Amino acid sequence: MSRFKEKDLPCVLQEFQNKCTVKLEFENNLSGNILLKEVIIKYDEKTGFICIMGKAVNLKINTTLIYIYEKENDFIKIELETLIIYIKKINNK
């Protein structure tokens, strides 16, 4: 895994700017996963939130609470004090 900084979020999240299917996985104080279809993920630099938007979802992650960002080939890991979130793009076939 390679770590990156908040300023690199727009570049890292580019692969999620077109509607796609995404799996969110959670560890620590919340465990499990959610499959989201037709979502767009982008970083709003003005508000400092990672926005996950779609027909049935509108999630925002406050980046001031994030300790570590890491990117692997097929997922992004976002680590907060008491929660780890994995964002994985699912290939539609």
Q: How confident is the model at residue 1, as a pLDDT? A: 65
Task: Say what the pTM is.
Answer: 0.87
Q: Which residue in 74, 78, 68 sits closest to 89, CA to CA?
A: 74
The pLDDT of residue 86 is 96
Q: How many CB atoms lie within 10 A of CB 38?
A: 14
**Amino acid occupying residue 89:** K
76, with CB counted inside 10 A (0-12, 13-18, 19+), is buried
Instruction: Tell me the sheet residues that pair with 4.
Output: 69
- The pLDDT profile of the chain, 93 residues, written as one tens digit per residue, is 678 788 888 988 988 989 999 999 999 989 999 999 999 999 999 999 999 999 889 999 999 889 999 998 889 999 998 999 999 999 765
> Hey, what CATH topology would domain 2-90 get?
Heme iron utilization protein-like fold (3.40.1570)
How confident is the model at residue 38, as a pLDDT?
93
